[in-house]
Amino acid sequence: MIGSPAQTRLLVLIFFAAVVPAGIVTLCLYYLIFNMMAWQIGIPEAVAYNLIPVARKVNLIIAVALPISLVIIWLLALELSHKLLGPIVRLEKDLDERISSKKSGPIKLREKDVLRPIVDKINQLLYKAGP
C-alpha cells in the first residue's frame, strides 16, 4: 500500500521511467522490422503479405513480456519505496513526539530499513542530550 505523497511521486517516476523506454524500444523494433522487410523484399504487396505474420508475433511477444516486466519493476519499486520512504515518515512522527515531550527513548526502525544508520546516530544524539 502506498503510504505518503513522496512514495506516490517516487512510484510514478519509476513507472514512467520503465514505460517510456519500453515504448521507445517497441516503436524502434517495429520500425526496424518493417524497414528491413521492405528493404529486403522491395515489392509493396509482398511487404504487406510478409509483415502481417511478423507483426502478429511481435505483438504477442510485447503483449506478454511488457506487462510482466512492468509488474516486476513495480513490485520491486514498491518494496524499495517502503524501505526508504516508510522510515522517513516514521522518523518524522517520532521526532515530533519527542519534541512535544509525548515520547522519550530511542527511535526504533526495522532492521532492513535503509535509514537505519542515520536513526542510530539520531538515537546517539538523543542519548547524549538526555531527558
pLDDT of residue 42: 63
C-beta separation of 72 from 88 below 8 A: no
Q: What's the Cα-to-Cα distance from 28 to each of 24, 31, 58, 73, 81, rounded to whole Å?
A: 6, 5, 12, 22, 31
Count structural domains, the chain.
Answer: 1
108 residue type, one letter: K
Quote the pLDDT of residue 40. Answer: 67
Cell of 100: 512535544
Domain ranges, residue 80: 5-129
Q: Which pTM value belongs to this model?
A: 0.61
Q: What is the pLDDT of residue 131?
A: 59
Q: Closest by alpha carbon to 120, among 130, 109, 104?
A: 109
pLDDT at residue 72, rounded to an integer: 92
Band of residue 130 on the pLDDT scale cut at 50, 70, 90: low
3 DSSP assignment = -
Q: How far apart are the first and last CA of the chain?
A: 36
pLDDT at 123: 86
pLDDT (tens digit, 9 = 90+) per residue, 80-99?
Answer: 888 778 788 888 888 888 88
d(CA 128, CA 122): 10
Predicted confidence band at 2 (pLDDT cuts at 50, 70, 90)? low
Give 5-53 pLDDT, tens digit per residue: 878 888 888 889 988 988 898 888 878 877 776 666 666 666 667 777 8
